[in-house]
Amino acid sequence: MNLSVTLNRLRLQNPILVASGTFGYAREMAGAVDFAKLGGISPKTVTRLPRAGNAPPRTVETASGMLNAIGLDNDGIDHFIAHHLPYLRTLPTAIIANIAGKTADEFVEMAAKIGGEPGLAGLELNLSCPNVSGGLDFATDPNVTRKIVADVRAVCPLPLIAKLTPNVTNVVPIAQAAADGGADAVSLINTIVGMAIDWRKRKPILGNVTGGLSGPAIKPWALRLVWNVARNVRVPVIGIGGITTIDDVMEFLVAGASAVQIGTANFFDPTVSTRLVEQLTATCVEFGIKSVPEIVGTLSR
C-alpha cells in the first residue's frame, strides 16, 4: 500500500516520523530500528555553537509522561555537518535537520549553512524550546515567527517546518504567521512547561526547576491544537504529542495532521515507530482507506 504524503515541498514515504531529541542522531538506534520503514527522522536540535545544556537532573518521570529540561545540549552545527550528517544522509529515509538560534540572525546563518548540504529532505525550525533561558521560545510571537521563517526561506532551499510551542493562549495566529512566512508545514506540539517537586527537601526535582512535559499525558492538548490549526490555517500540520499507539496516529490524522512524529514513546519502545507504520498499512486496508490524505481532517461533529 502506498502511504506516501506530500506536505507542500516536503515528500515523505509515509507519515510516521521520529521527533527531535528522542532519537539522538539516529546512529544510537541503528541496532534496533529499521530506518527504511520510517517516514523520516528529525535529529536532535543543533545550535550555532556547542551547548553544555542544563544542570542535572534533566529528566523526571511523571504520571503518563515525563518532564525534561535538557537545555539543547549539543555539539553545534559545524560538528553536526562534519560528524552526523555524513552518516544521516546514507539512511534510507527522509532526514529533516532541526535547528535553533538564539536570535533570528542565528537561524538565518545556520539555515544558509545547512541548506547548502546534500542529503536533507527538509529543515525543522525549533522555534519552541521551553528549557533555554534567553528567550528561545520565538513561537510565542506571530511577528517574530513570520520574520524568522521568511528570512530563512530567503536563504535556504530546503522545505521548511516551523515547530510551534503549545505554551501560548492561541496557537492559530502563530501557525498563520509561519504559513505567511513561507513554511511548508508546521509541527506541533513541543513540550508543555511544567515542574516537579520533592516536597520533603522543599526543592524542585529538575536542575532547571521547570521542564517540558511530554508523553501520553499531553495527547489531548496536542490534539486540540492540531485540530485548531488544521481547520483554521491553510498549512499542512505534523502532529506531535504523546503518540504511542495506532489509534493515537489515526486520531491525529482525523484531527487534521498530514503526518505525525513520535517522541517520548521511543524511550520505552525504540521500535514503536516502525511498528506503527506496519499497523497504519493494516488499518488502512481494514477500513478501506486508499491513501493517507483521504482521512486527514475528516473529523465531523
Ligand X SMILES: Cc1cc2nc3c(=O)[nH]c(=O)nc-3n(C[C@H](O)[C@H](O)[C@H](O)COP(=O)(O)O)c2cc1C
Give catalytic residues, as residue numbers: 129
CB of 153 to ligand X, least distance (A): 19
CA distance 297 to 293: 8
Q: Scanning residues 93 to 122, which ones bind ligand X (CB under 6 A)? A: 98
Interface residue with ligand X among 13, 15, 44, 284 (CB under 6 A) is: 44
Task: Report the residue from 208, 264, 273, 274 that binds ligand X according to the rule CB under 6 A.
Answer: 264
- Closer residue to ligand X, CB minimum distance, 122 or 215: 215
- CB-closest chain residue to ligand X: 21
- Give CA–CA dist 179/80, Å, rounded: 28
Q: Taking CB under 6 A as the rule, does residue 274 contact ligand X?
A: no
- Min dist CB 245 to ligand X, Å, is 12
In degrees and rounded to multiples of 5, residue 287 shows phi and psi of -100, 10
- 44 versus 153: smaller Cβ distance to ligand X: 44
Is residue 20 within the footprint of ligand X (CB under 6 A)?
Answer: yes
Nearest to 162 by CA among 136, 134, 181, 141: 181
- Which residue of 16, 243, 272, 284 would you call a contact of ligand X, by CB under 6 A? 243
Nearer to ligand X, 115 or 267 (CB): 267
Question: Does residue 130 belong to the site contacting ligand X (CB under 6 A)?
Answer: no
HEC profile for 154-189? Answer: HHCCCCEEEECCCCCCCCHHHHHHHHHHCCCEEEEC
Of 102 and 289, nearer to ligand X (C-beta) is 102
263 near ligand X, rule: CB under 6 A: yes
From the CB of residue 103, how many other CB atoms can be counted at a distance below 10 Å? 14
> What whole-number distance in Å separates Cα of residue 153 and Cα of residue 207?
36
48 binds ligand X (CB under 6 A): no
Q: Which of 7, 95, 163, 276 binds ligand X (CB under 6 A)?
A: 163
Taking the C-alpha atoms of residue 89 and residue 82, their distance in angstroms, rounded to an integer, is: 12
**Residue among 125, 132, 131, 173 at smallest CA distance from 153:** 125
Q: Which amino acid is at 251?
A: E
Q: In whole angstroms, what is the distance from residue 23 CA to residue 168 CA?
A: 26
Q: Is 22 in the site for ligand X (CB under 6 A)?
A: yes
**Cβ-contact 172, 224 below 8 angstroms:** no
Smallest separation (angstroms) from ligand X to the CB of 21: 2
Nearer to ligand X, 156 or 226 (CB): 226
Q: Residue 254 is placed in which grid cell?
A: 482525523
How many chain residues interact with ligand X (CB under 6 A)?
26
Q: Give, as ranges, the residues between 52 and 91 that touch ligand X (CB under 6 A).
A: 66, 68, 70, 72
- Near ligand X in 141-160, by CB under 6 A: none
Within the chain, where are the H helices?
77-79, 85-88, 104-115, 142-155, 172-181, 219-232, 246-255, 265-268, 272-287
Q: Can you give the binding site for ligand X, defined by CB under 6 A?
A: 19-22, 44-45, 66, 68, 70, 72, 98, 126, 129, 163, 190-191, 214-215, 218, 240-243, 262-264
